[in-house]
A = this chain, B = another copy of it.
Amino acid sequence: MKEILNFIDSNVDSYIEELKDFLKIQSISTLPENKTDMQTAAQFVADKIKQAGIEKVTIYQTEGHPIVYAEWMGAPGKPTVLIYGHYDVQPADPIDLWETSPFEPVIKDGKIYARGATDDKGQMYVHIKSVEAILKVNGTLPVNVKFLIEGEEEIGSPNLYTFLKNNTELLKCDAVLISDTSLWEEGVPTITYGLRGISYMEVEVTGPNRDLHSGTYGGAVPNPVNILADIISKLKDKNGRITIPGFYDDVLKPTKQEKENLKKLKYPEKEFAKSIGIKKSVGEKGYSLLERIWSRPTLDCNGIVGGFTGKGAKTIIPSKASAKISMRLVPNQNPKKIEKLFTKYIKKIAPDYVDVKITSIHGGSPFIAKLNQPIMKVAAKAMASAFGKETVFMREGGSIPIVVDFAEKLKATPVLMGLGLDSENLHSPNEHFNLNHFRLGIISSAYFMNGLANL
């Protein structure tokens, strides 16, 4: 490894120059005017993988933007790692809030500023460079390596799932290595091992067949807004617990190891509340802030609408009211089962003199990796070696559906080796990426492949 580390350190400046070129490409997946930029970015990725020393590189066209696939299978009998990442970026607006131009990368105080710097060009690029460094030094890789780099992550990966489903043999692997999440804090090696799932529902209540005059009819007619409010109000008790019968049945209790890990992470509650303008954090009684965000399920109204919503007054009893209600799920809750429990409960508590329509908008499974499995241990050790500190394990409150798909379809272990920071303005103006984390990421990646070979 020593030679590889020296090689990386001697070349990291030119890697940063290459990253600059990558960041100059305006690969905004959601904008039609950037369609050719998407092809340019995919070609850039393919070229760099070839330059790293991998010959078999294919650009797959899809109904949307291309998928870059590559493989090096020269280590028979050894594990295979699939590196997933994305070359597309979010739009740059609001442009006037950028201190430097979003597609003209600038380095300041050891950080590179540009759209996509941390999400995900910079993070993804570390793995191309680690592979290159190993191949240049050793002429071979310790494990088999595949790359799967897509261009539609920021628009919900509409074509990736189909590609995954149709190519399970091609993509077969033992570990899926992903750098698209965050470090716990600067300089602290971190692996995200759990994600929440989701069940996103819509509830529509219909009372009278048209909006009615609230004077002429008020006192005699079921009001769908009041009734919807009653329904929503009955979904949680005063301790913030969800009241849907059976909702918590499958919730996995944290292991001893998880609890110990959690104790090590001090979370500044006051700063958290201040940063979003609330007086204090609230939620399910008996759980800490991090537990509530990471390992406990939630229920939130994402939106509500009904009746008159303009300025001033209109004296109506509305005909309809509807709400979007989503639940974040944790292992081992099943979105399909939760959807059924939710529907059954709402039907039970809704009065029989109104019509209630309940629709599932979408669902996604939660994810958790076992901390004591060998691949996770290797990953943790790799990052610890690179960063010179013990690796911390965290969960994430959001959902990354493709991670679950990888785990389910490929029967592989996802390794979320995030290198970003929550403070790096992803999706916002002045996005940046810490170049020390860029360098430590390349080293972590190299350690990981090395460690995996010895499993």
Contacts and interface: CB of A to CB of B under 8 A. Distances in A.
A453 interface: no
Nearest to A400: B215
Interface in A190-227: 196, 198, 200, 207-210, 212-223, 225-226
Interface in A402-425: none
Interface in A224-242: 225-226, 228-230, 232-236
Q: Which of A280, A351, A352, A398 has the most CB of B within 10 A?
A: A398
A221 B282 contact: yes
A215 to B, nearest CB: 3
A403 B147 CA distance: 79
A309 B318 contact: no
Contact of A306 (B276, B284, B304, B318): B304
A317 B208 CA distance: 30
A324 B328 contact: no
Contact of A308 (B217, B219, B302, B313): B302
Copies of this polypeptide in the complex: 2
B232 A236 contact: no
9 contacts: A215-B398, A220-B292, A221-B282, A300-B317, A301-B306, A302-B313, A302-B316, A304-B305, A312-B361
Contacts of A213: 398
Contact of A276 (B208, B300, B313, B321): B208
A438 to B, nearest CB: 24
Contacts of A304: 225, 228-229, 304-307, 309, 321
A225 to B, nearest CB: 4
A282 B222 contact: yes
B278 A221 contact: yes
Contacts of A380: none
A16 B298 CA distance: 68
A232 B222 contact: no
Contact of A309 (B216, B298, B303, B361): B303
Contact of A302 (B214, B219, B233, B398): B214
Contact of A307 (B207, B223, B324): B324
Which of A220, A298, A313 has most chain B Cβ within 10 Å?
A: A220
Contact of A223 (B222, B301, B354): B301
Given A215-B328, A281-B220, A236 B225 contact: no
A315 B400 CA distance: 13
A289 interface: yes
A391 interface: no
